[in-house]
Every structure is written in C-alpha cells, then in structure tokens.
C-alpha cells in the first residue's frame, strides 16, 4: 500500500517537473513566486498574509497544470486547426489568466 502511494506521489512530482521543463509561462510563474516569497520573508508578513500568498501561488500552478493538460490532450486529438479545440484551449488559458490576475491583486 505504501509503495503504491509513493509511486503515485512520484508521478505527481514528475508532472511538476514536466510543467517547468516544457511551459515557459510556468517558469515565469515560478520566478514570480520565488520573488514574492523572498519579499514576503523580508517584509515579515503576517501568518494570514502568508496563507494568502501560498494559496495564490498554488492556485496559479493548479490552473497552469490543468491548462497544460488540456493543451496536451487537445494536441493528441489533432494538430490541425479545429474551432472546438481552439475554444477549449482558450478557456484553459483564460483559467490561468484569471488565477494570475487574482494572485497579483492579492500580492
């Protein structure tokens, strides 16, 4: 049972590594997160402010992971232009945009 959970965890870590390797925007989000965390540490923000920062960073990365998954699955279906797939990809990208703007407002 423990081995199964450990393997599941390793798949999740692999997904994060893939995200950072293949998505330039994810690297930008990671850099922004590091800067925000460093500034928060320097400014000695409150525990509630830390909670908001951590939730915001997690929200952005979750949206980026879902968007990247949508893009990869869509590309598997077809690489040719398809208006429905374009709509799906645009919706996924919009989720990342909303998450990022929300994080900026909170920060």
- Residuewise pLDDT in 10s, the chain (107 residues): 788 888 889 999 999 999 999 999 999 999 999 999 999 999 999 999 999 999 999 999 999 999 999 999 999 999 999 999 999 999 999 999 999 999 999 98
Domain that holds residue 83: 2-106
Give the pTM: 0.90
78 vs 76: CA distance, rounded Å: 6
98 vs 18: CA distance, rounded Å: 22
| pLDDT, position 43 | 98
* 72's tokens: 């990869």
* 31's tokens: 């850099």
Scored b (16 or more CB within 10 A) or e, 36-50 reads: beeebeeeeeeeeee
Q: Which CATH number is 29's domain given?
A: 1.10.287.3610
| pLDDT, position 1 | 76
Looking at the structure of the chain, the number of domains it has is 1
| pLDDT, position 5 | 87
* 79's tokens: 């690489």
- Maximum C-alpha span of the chain: 51
| Among 64, 55, 50, residue whose Cα is nearest residue 97 | 64
Query: Helix or strand or coil: residue 46?
Result: coil
């Amino acid at each position: 049972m423990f081995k199964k959970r450990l393997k599941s965890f390793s798949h999740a870590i692999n997904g994060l590594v893939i995200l950072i390797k293949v998505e330039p925007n994810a690297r930008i989000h990671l850099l922004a997160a590091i800067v925000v965390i460093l500034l928060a540490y320097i400014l000695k923000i409150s525990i509630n402010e830390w909670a908001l920062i951590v939730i915001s960073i997690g929200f952005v990365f979750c949206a980026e992971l879902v968007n990247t998954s949508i893009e990869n699955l869509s590309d598997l279906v077809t690489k040719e232009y398809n208006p429905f797939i374009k709509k799906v990809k645009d919706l996924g990208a919009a989720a990342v945009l909303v998450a990022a703007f929300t994080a900026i407002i909170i920060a």
